[in-house]
């Protein structure tokens, strides 16, 4: 069925940037609502942001507003998370997930809305 693969994580210093990628197969990313989640050590998984099938976006985390931007490139069948001005508290495993039942992002991220998940990519922000 639908498969998602994240990439782009790594080790960066505070203030630097990363761009995460989420590629879907065999279906196109514009069919689903697709969200980024993250899970930091010792913490619950939290929603970061979501993009719906028409390209409208919803930010779930106040802590990343103004720093993180979700976007989509239909030609590459990829959803991105551009992360700027990274902070140590952004350290987490980042996952992308697709809602297979809806193309619309709800106002609040909920793990139960998303049935297809990628394997995650590690982002470590440390000096």
> Which DSSP state fits 16?
-
What pLDDT, on a 0 to 100 scale, did the predictor assign at position 18?
A: 98
Omega prior to 26 cis, within 30 of 0: yes
Mean pLDDT, residues 21-40 taken together: 94
pLDDT band at 42; cut points 50, 70, 90: very high
Average pLDDT over residues 12-37: 95
Please compute the mean of the pLDDT values over residues 96-121 and round it to a whole number: 94
Q: CA end-to-end span of the chain, whole Å? A: 40
Task: Give pLDDT, residue 1.
Answer: 87
**Token code pair at residue 12:** 């960066």
Cα angle 79, 80, 85; round to 5: 165
Confidence grade of residue 29 (pLDDT, cut at 50, 70, 90): confident
pLDDT band, very low/low/confident/very high, at 112 (cuts 50, 70, 90): very high
**Residue 68 and residue 81 in contact, taking contact as beta carbons nearer than 8 Å:** yes
Whole-number Å distance between alpha carbons of 63 and 81: 15
Q: With bands split at pLDDT 50, 70 and 90, how would you rate the model's confidence at 74?
A: very high
Average pLDDT over residues 68-84: 97
Based on the number of CB atoms within 10 Å of its own CB, is 65 exposed (0-12), middle (13-18) or buried (19 or more)?
exposed
Say yes or no to pLDDT of 67 above 90.
yes
Taken as a whole, the chain contains a residue count of 127
pLDDT at position 71? 97
């Amino acid at each position: 069925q639908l498969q998602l693969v994240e990439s782009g994580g790594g080790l960066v210093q505070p203030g630097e940037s990363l761009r995460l990628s989420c590629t879907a197969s065999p279906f196109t990313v514009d069919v689903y609502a697709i969200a980024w989640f993250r899970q930091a050590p010792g913490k619950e998984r939290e929603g970061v942001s979501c993009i719906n099938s028409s390209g409208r976006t919803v930010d779930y985390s106040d802590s990343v507003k103004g720093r993180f931007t979700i976007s989509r490139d239909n030609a590459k069948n990829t959803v991105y998370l551009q992360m700027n001005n990274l902070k140590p508290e952004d350290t987490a495993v980042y996952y992308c997930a697709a809602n297979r039942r809806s193309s619309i992002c709800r106002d609040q991220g909920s793990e139960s809305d998303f049935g297809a998940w990628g394997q995650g990519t590690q982002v470590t922000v440390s000096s």
